[in-house]
Amino acid sequence: MSAYLRNIFLRPWIAAVLCFSVLPLSGAGVADSLLVRADSLRKAYLFEESVRLYDQALSGTEDSLARIRIQDSKMLSENGLGMTDFVLQPVVVARHRFSIDDFYLYYPLQDRSWRPVPNVLDTLGTHPLYKAVYMPEGTRSLYYAAPDADGVMNIYRTDRRDSTWSVPALLNEYLVSSEDEIYPMLSPDGKHLYFASAGLYGMGGLDLYVSAWNEDQKEWGPPSNMGMPFSSPYNDFLFINTPDGKYSVFASDRDCPHDSVDVYVIEQESMPVRRGVDDVAQLRRIMSMNPEEDINTIDNSTVMSQIGPPDVDTGRYTAKVAEVRALKDSIYYYNAGIDSRRALYIESSDSSERDALAMEMIRNEARIRVLQDSLGRASDELQKIEMEFLFKGIVLDPDQLMDEADRDVKGASSNFAFTRMNPGPAPDIVLEKPVRKFDYTFMILPEGRFAEDNTLPDGVVYQIQLFSLSSRPEVKELRGLSPVFEEITPSGRYIYRAGVFRTYNDVLANMNKVKRLGFRTAFITAFLDGEPVPVSRARSLEKQAGPVILYNIGIVPYDDSLPDITVQAIVQLCGEKDIARSVKDGRTVYMVGTFDSKELVDKVMVAVRATGVADVYSVRINSGDK
């Protein structure tokens, strides 16, 4: 192994050892020093050693915040240790390094399908790795990542209507975490969703995950970590399978400068076999993802077939021109390699080094012969296409075709050519806004409100009857009550009742509030499935039904407004709910309800927190007794 290769291969391990030996082991910063050393060991795939250091750090500090930080990091190492039992060893076809700013344009995907951020979907565009939204022409259902109120990236879906797109919605609680989720990508058959997350079960940084579509539930299932070598203690993201079923492609910043990423191309396996790997050196070799050197695996047709304008004939021509140029570049690359090694061969006096250089030149000459054969076939095919154009009378625009064919091609000398696609225009879409429906929570406001819909819900409900009049009253006569329901009797009189209460105790608790407003003759009425019943019967039915427990959810945003993304999350989980705004102890509070399922309440609270609103609580608002 050369000194250069040895340095590259051992760099994570050397960093861990240096960190272990240099940092202090005593004094006020012991826990922090141990944490830094343990993190370095984790990134060098020395998971067991890092767990021991995390335990030492925990035993050396009583600071609650520091302990949480250490426990979180320890969990990453424990996860990594568990993943070493299920390691895949794929055939790596190619690897090439790109700038983080445009690496995604070299993926073998439809031209002009990447829409750089910021745009209407992600108006900030501040995430260091999430650079564009994948939106091919004709997309009807769009998955993308965008920041919430706290800047945490979440995955949303929006569907195309006639002229607008639906309100963006979070997918479900499985695909929401406290950290970033980026680069959601559907499989070619639409049955799997690949994405990267920093907040789910993983080894640190962004890991790769896949979620399967549940056709029965019409829902995405719980995501699973794709495991090693796709996931690592570094940032791994933007996984796709090519439509032809040949390759998988993903990006990672393992062993990369901060402004670069490596894009890996691996062969797809129909029945991948995962095995346990105990040897750290072997694990590092697998995680380094070095490409195979078998020249028989060269196949640039996957990426080449993706380029070119939509027209089939001109697209064939452009793709073939690009293929010919890529093959010529490859031949030039290997010839240059032979020349450089020949010069070293002449200068060298070491017999073993001369033998190694001679073998390299022989291998390069073999590669050149294979490439020249491919070039000959590609050139013949290009001539045939040109002849077809002459017979069909097709007139080509040379400038446009050459612009397509002149695309930047990287890695043409390897087993896979990375061809740079063009970015697409900014998404020209109009997103629907969430509609906040009338709030039917009983309230006393500065100005009263009539109910928008006078239909009562099913089951037993109670109301407070205010008055009966021969004509409609003015809003000021409601004295701040909301909602107030209207009923017109057969004789033409108007009856007005306030509130919708599910239990007798609840309506009774609000009776005095109504009377203090001046409705001294107000009384309680009851209904069953929208039809009036005696209050005594309603109370009897209420007791027979057993305890009735209802909940509201209290949300305290950081400012006075409830973020739209939070409203979207609530609507996604439970449909439209009443949202009442009030001020308590100088803080703005939004009460969402009502809920009769504690399980649903818990799910909604998790989703709300995931949108960046940390202060969320549930309130049990009533209970009946048998």
Q: How confident is the model at residue 262 (pLDDT cuts 50, 70, 90)?
A: very high
- Each residue of 124-175: pLDDT tens digit? 888 999 999 999 988 999 999 999 877 889 999 999 988 899 989 888 888 8
Give yes or no: residues 91 and 76 share one domain.
no
Q: Which of 91-100, 183-192, 382-391, 407-416 has the lowest average pLDDT?
A: 407-416
Give yes or no: residues 258 and 386 share one domain.
no
| CATH code of the domain containing 570 | 3.30.70.260
**Residue 40 — φ and ψ, nearest 5°?**
-65, -40
The answer to whether 345 and 339 are in contact (CB under 8 A) is no
Give yes or no: residues 168 and 93 share one domain.
yes
DSSP string, 201-255: SSSSS-EEEEEEEETTTTEE---EE--TTTS-SS-EEEEEE-TTSSEEEEEE-TT
Q: Where is the domain boundary, 269, 295, 321?
A: 295
Residue 436 falls within a domain, yes or no? no
Is the bond preceding 108 in cis, omega lying within 30 degrees of 0? no
d(CA 534, CA 504) in angstroms, rounded, equals 12
Q: What is the pLDDT at residue 158?
A: 93
- Name the domain count of the chain: 5
Residue 569 falls within a domain, yes or no? yes
Tokens representing 182 are 């980026």
Give yes or no: residues 141 and 240 share one domain.
yes
- Each residue of 65-82: pLDDT tens digit? 888 888 889 999 999 999
Residue 522 falls within a domain, yes or no? yes
Give yes or no: residues 460 and 481 share one domain.
yes
Buried b (16+ CB within 10 A) or exposed e, 299-312: bbebbbbbbbeeee
Give yes or no: residues 254 and 109 share one domain.
yes
Give yes or no: residues 95 and 241 share one domain.
yes
Say how many C-beta atoms besides its own lie within 10 A of residue 402's C-beta: 12
The answer to whether 550 and 594 are in contact (CB under 8 A) is yes
Give yes or no: residues 459 and 393 share one domain.
no
2 CA to centre of own chain: 41
Residue 607 falls within a domain, yes or no? yes
Bridge-based pairing of strands 114-116 and 141-147 is unpaired
Q: Which domain holds residue 92?
A: 87-295
Type and span of the H or E element at 552: strand 550-555
Burial class of 490 by CB neighbour count within 10 A (0 to 12, 13 to 18, 19+)? exposed
Buried b (16+ CB within 10 A) or exposed e, 35-71: bbbbbbbbbbbbbebbbebbebbbebbeeeebeebbe
Give yes or no: residues 325 and 471 share one domain.
no
Type and span of the H or E element at 133: strand 132-134
Give yes or no: residues 469 and 338 share one domain.
no
Give yes or no: residues 110 and 255 share one domain.
yes
- The amino acid at residue 561 is S
Residue 301 falls within a domain, yes or no? no
Q: Is the pLDDT of residue 528 over 90?
A: yes
Give yes or no: residues 96 and 198 share one domain.
yes
Q: Where is the domain boundary, 63, 83, 103?
A: 83
- Each residue of 344-360: pLDDT tens digit? 888 888 888 888 888 88
Among candidates 298, 326, 306, which has minimal Cα distance to 382? 326
Residue 28 falls within a domain, yes or no? yes
Residue 3 falls within a domain, yes or no? no
d(CA 473, CA 496) in angstroms, rounded, equals 9
Residue 302 falls within a domain, yes or no? no
Give the DSSP letter of residue 266: E
d(CA 454, CA 438) in angstroms, rounded, equals 12
Mean pLDDT over the full length of the chain:
82
Q: What is the pLDDT at residue 547?
A: 58
Q: ∠593-606-439 over CA atoms, to 5°? A: 20
DSSP string, 18-48: HHHHHS-SSSTTHHHHHHHHHHHHHHTT-HH
Q: Where is the domain boundary, 542, 574, 598?
A: 542
- Give the 3-state secondary structure of residue 138: coil
